[in-house]
C-alpha cells in the first residue's frame, strides 16, 4: 500500500495547495489544470461508504488506477461507479491478482504489468 499510496499523498497535498490559489485566478497552465483534475478524481476515489470496509489488496488495486492516471479522463461523477464495477470485475475474474498483492505485500514488476493490463482492458469496456 505504501508503494502505491506514497505518491498519492504528495499529489493530494499539491492539489489542495494549488486548489486554494486557483480560486483566485483563471489563467492556469496545462500542468496545473492536470494536477487539479487528478486531485478531484483522487479525492472522489478515496470516498468510502460507512461500514463498508475494503481489503488492503482491493484498496491497492483501486488506488493504483488513480495514481497511475487511468482515471484522468473520466468524469469525477463516474468514479464511484467505476470503483464498484472494477472491484466486482477484479474479484470475480482476477482473484489470483488480488491474492498475489495480498501475499507479497507489494507490487512486483509482474504484478504491475498484470494490473496495468487488467485496468486497461476493463476501462475499454467500462461505460457509465
- Per-residue model confidence as pLDDT tens for the chain (128 residues): 777 787 888 888 888 888 887 777 667 788 888 888 999 999 999 998 889 889 999 999 999 999 999 999 999 999 999 999 999 999 999 999 999 999 998 899 999 999 999 999 999 999 75
Question: Among residues 19, 20, 104, 118, which one has the least CA distance to residue 64?
Answer: 118
Q: How far is C-alpha 12 from the chain's CA centre?
A: 12
Question: Which CATH architecture fits 2-125?
Answer: Up-down Bundle (1.20)
Whole-structure pTM value = 0.85
Quick one: pLDDT at residue 128?
58
Contacts 24+ apart (CB under 8 A), 32-39: 34/72, 35/11, 37/72, 38/11, 38/66, 38/69, 38/72, 39/11, 39/12, 39/14, 39/15
Quick one: pLDDT at residue 86?
96
Instruction: Report domain extents, the chain.
Output: 2-125
Quick one: pLDDT at residue 57?
94
Amino acid at each position: 500500500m505504501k508503494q502505491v499510496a506514497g505518491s498519492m499523498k504528495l499529489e493530494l497535498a499539491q492539489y489542495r495547495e494549488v486548489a486554494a490559489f486557483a480560486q483566485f485566478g483563471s489563467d492556469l497552465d496545462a500542468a496545473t489544470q492536470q494536477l487539479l483534475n487528478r486531485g478531484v478524481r483522487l479525492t472522489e476515489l478515496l470516498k468510502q461508504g460507512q461500514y463498508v470496509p475494503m481489503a488492503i489488496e482491493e484498496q491497492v488495486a483501486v488506488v493504483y488506477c488513480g495514481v497511475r492516471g487511468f482515471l484522468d479522463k473520466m468524469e469525477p461523477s463516474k468514479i464511484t461507479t467505476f470503483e464498484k464495477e472494477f472491484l466486482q470485475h477484479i474479484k470475480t475474474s482476477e482473484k489470483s491478482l488480488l491474492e498475489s498483492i495480498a501475499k507479497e505485500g507489494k507490487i512486483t514488476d509482474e504484478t504491475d504489468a498484470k494490473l496495468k493490463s487488467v485496468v486497461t482492458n476493463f476501462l475499454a469496456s467500462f461505460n457509465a
